[in-house]
Structures are given as structure tokens and as C-alpha cells.
Amino acid sequence: MKTTRNTTAKTAVLEIFGKSKTALSHTEIYKQIEDVCDRVTIYRILDRLVNDDIVHKIVDLDGTVKYAKCNHHAQRVHIHNHAHFSCEKCLEITCLENVKPSYIMPHNYKVNNINFTLSGLCPNCLNSNI
């Protein structure tokens, strides 16, 4: 029975990511499916989805870990070398797939992961200020 419940919970989490255009925190996911499973199960599912390159982690400006669906997980070499945008007003984080961060590293360093986050106002918040 536990396996079925876990499958149901994983399916529910994947459906949430399928509908979301922004990165989501564990808490945001839990609020949407708290009747399906507990918090620990969601953490386990998120860890598994990260390990399987279905979602990736983003740390927002206040240190909260959020998760976003990978849009290119079918590629053989899977890296997250795109930028993220953190809105200072609505606090949503979006992946900017077409914005590739650029950096120059000394030759004796090896980069395994990058977290490139831009902050400001997203289009929705910017338009609401006009």
C-alpha cells in the first residue's frame, strides 16, 4: 500500500510542476497536496526528481530552496546553465531558459554547478506599477 501511495503522491507532485510556470518551494507544493501525503514524503519525492533530472533546485534571495521543472531533461548531458529571475514584489522565481550566464574561471577550477539569479520586477509586477 505504501508504494501505491508514493506513486500517487509522486504523480500529484509532477502534476503541480506541469501546471506551474514558476519555481515552487516544498511548502507551496505541500499546501496543494497535503491531503495526499506528508511533508517527509514530498521531500523524498523532490530529492528523487532532482536526482532523475526532472526538476532542479534554485535558491532564492532569502535562502529558500525552490524547485522548477526541467524543460530539457531528454538531453544526454544535463546541466542547468540558464539564469533564474527572482521577483522582489511577488517573490516568484522563473527560469530564463534563453538567458545563458557567462563567467570566466581560472584554469585550475572545475565548475560542477551554477546558480545564477537576477532580481527585480517580473513583467506582471512591473505592469501593475504603471
User: For residues 101 and 84, what is the distance between their CA atoms, to the nearest angstrom?
Assistant: 10
Alpha-carbon distance of 12 to 18, in angstroms, equals 10
Is residue 95 annotated as involved in ligand binding?
A: no
Sort strands 117-120 and 93-96 into parallel, antiparallel or unpaired.
Answer: unpaired
Cβ atoms 65, 57 nearer than 8 A: yes
| 37 has binding-site annotation | no
Binding-site residue set for Fe cation? 97
Binding-site residue set? 87, 90, 97, 122, 125
Binding-site residue set for Zn(2+)? 87, 90, 122, 125
